[in-house]
């Protein structure tokens, strides 16, 4: 199994098969290189030591929240966070904790997306 196949397995496990396929489909005819690069990123996240997938998904949703204009990615990675075993309360508290550092708008945007994702499951 090469790095891309291994990355695909990780991506499917984290964000779900459907979302993973949707990423591939959306990039297939315009920028397949980006699809391949996300596979490598997931493969690396899995194989590198020091942090586990739960810690990594917490870091990911924090980086997305703090950066702003990342609603599509936040939607995917809030799903990912739940899929790797992070609880709804932990996700929400992660966003609440960010309030001191980024202010209400970024936090309320993220909470609103979390609510939408939680309601769909």
Of 1 and 119, which has the nearer Cβ to a second copy?
119
Residue from 87, 85, 81 nearest 58 by CA = 81
Is 97 a binder of a second copy (CB under 8 A)? yes
Element (H, E) at 4: helix 3-15
The residue count of the chain comes to 121
Is 84 a binder of a second copy (CB under 8 A)? no
List CB contacts of 118: < 8 A, sequence separation 6 or more.
88
Is 120 a binder of a second copy (CB under 8 A)? no
Residue from 68, 69, 59 nearest 97 by CA = 59
Min dist CB 69 to a second copy, Å, is 4
Fill in the per-residue mask, 14 to 53: x = in contact with a second copy (CB under 8 A), - = not in contact. ------------xx--xx-xx--xx--x---x--xxxx--
Number of H helices, E strands in the chain: 8, 0
- Please give the residue ranges that form the binding site for a second copy (CB under 8 A): 26-27, 30-31, 33-34, 37-38, 41, 45, 48-51, 55-56, 58-60, 62-70, 72-73, 87, 89-90, 92-109, 111-112, 114-115, 118
């Amino acid at each position: 199994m090469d790095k891309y196949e291994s990355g695909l397995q990780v991506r499917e496990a984290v964000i779900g098969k459907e979302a993973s396929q949707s990423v591939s489909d959306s990039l297939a005819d315009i920028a397949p290189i980006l699809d391949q690069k996300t596979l490598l990123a997931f493969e690396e996240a899995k194989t590198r030591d020091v942090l586990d997938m739960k810690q990594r998904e917490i870091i990911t949703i924090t980086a997305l929240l703090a950066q702003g204009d990342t609603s599509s990615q936040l939607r995917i990675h809030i799903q990912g966070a739940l899929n790797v075993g992070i609880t709804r309360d932990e996700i929400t508290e992660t966003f609440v904790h960010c309030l001191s550092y980024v202010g209400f708008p970024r936090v309320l945007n993220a909470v609103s997306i979390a609510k939408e994702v939680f309601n769909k499951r």
